[in-house]
Amino acid sequence: MSITDARVPVTVLTGFLGSGKTTLLNRILTEHHGMRIAVIENEFGEVGIDDGLVLDAEEEVFEMNNGCICCTVRGDLIRILGALLKRKDRFDAILVETTGLADPAPVAQTFFVDDTLRTRLRLDAIVTVVDAKHIIAHLDDEKPEGTENEAVEQLAFADRVVLNKTDLVGAAETEEVRRRIHGINAGVRILPAQHADVDLSDVLGVHAFDLDRILADEPEFLIDSDHQHDLSVTSVGIEADGAVNVEKLNEWLGALLGERGADLFRSKGILNLVDSEQRYVFQGVHMLHDGDLGAPWRDGEPRRNRMVFIGRNLDREQLEQEFRACLEPDTSGASA
């Protein structure tokens, strides 16, 4: 029956902060699979970064960054999906990338509680990307009473798990991660990967979402309920003009992540370096961080620095002050 289903397939791409969702998204958008994909992104924080991390592609990208997709912006999700359906001839599939702090259940609910969406869209699969190095720590994270562990929820509802960054762990740790995943979701298929390099036929068009299975495990699935995030996890967004001194930046980031990396789930940014015509893309997960030159700045484009930190007990004023100390003094005549 699914083969003749004329509804548009929707893939929900989820996974905890820094697991590699954007890397997989870029792979999907740039490989030659013959599909036109409309992308809906959701970021957690005041400053949008992911739009700059997604590679140029013909697909259209819709961004929502005014809240968590599983809470305040579900109305926005329904609105964007409705708008997409009016232009159905321009795409073959939809991909929804959630923030790393999203519980996928309310996102999946969206395709069943709205009559129009239910008749015209088909939830194909929930694909959860897992950071093999850090997932166990997130699964064991003690949450305040009444709040959910999003990493557990993302695995519980997964139809496919991309076990990413396997190069950062040994065989014994990989096996323990597999055991923990199957302890939460016994039947889920696990796809080991480095740099989110998986066969796209294993994650797209797989007809894997099974509402009956979900209802067997979660009888209340289709009933809206209160969804509580851990309020100690916040986002600090920084936007600033000027050119960044890379030596000062590396010294600051090294100290910051070394001292407070356990509380920093995710850090990422697009920066304007001194004497560089290319944007500098920085990404970090806990104490691990990496940076590299990205696409060139476009002519006339404002070279504005954007950084986001997501974690526990973040000091906004201190982070902003420390970042601004990495900027070169604004002297007219200095090279950009």
* 117 phi and psi angles, rounded to 5 deg: -65, -35
Beta strands in the chain (DSSP E): 8-14, 37-42, 61-64, 93-97, 121-131, 160-164, 189-192, 233-240, 264-272, 278-285, 288-296, 305-312
What are the pLDDT tens digits along the chain (336 aa)? Answer: 345 678 899 999 998 878 888 889 888 888 877 788 888 876 544 433 344 433 343 334 444 343 333 334 456 778 888 888 887 777 888 888 887 666 777 777 778 777 788 889 998 998 999 999 999 998 888 777 666 788 888 888 888 999 999 999 999 999 999 999 988 887 789 999 999 999 999 999 998 887 766 666 666 555 555 545 455 566 778 889 999 998 898 889 888 877 887 777 667 788 999 999 998 887 776 666 677 788 888 888 889 898 878 677 788 899 999 999 999 886 544 443
Q: Give the pLDDT score at 263.
A: 77
Q: Give the pLDDT score at 102.
A: 67
CB-neighbour burial class of residue 206 (10 A; exposed 0-12, middle 13-18, buried 19+):
middle
Domain annotation for the chain: domains and CATH numbers: 2-217 (3.40.50.300), 233-324 (3.30.1220.10)
For the chain, report the end-to-end CA distance as a whole number of angstroms: 60
Question: The pTM is what?
Answer: 0.63
What tokens were used for 9? 């397939």
Give the number of residues written for the chain: 336
Give the CA distances from residue 105 to residues 14, 109, 137, in Å, rounded to whole numbers and listed in that order.
Answer: 11, 6, 22
Buried b (16+ CB within 10 A) or exposed e, 152-172: bbbbbbbbbbbbbbbeebeee
| Cα gap 109→103, rounded to integer Å | 11
| Cα gap 14→68, rounded to integer Å | 12
Question: How much helix, strand and coil, in percent to the nearest 5, is found in the chain?
Answer: 35, 25, 40
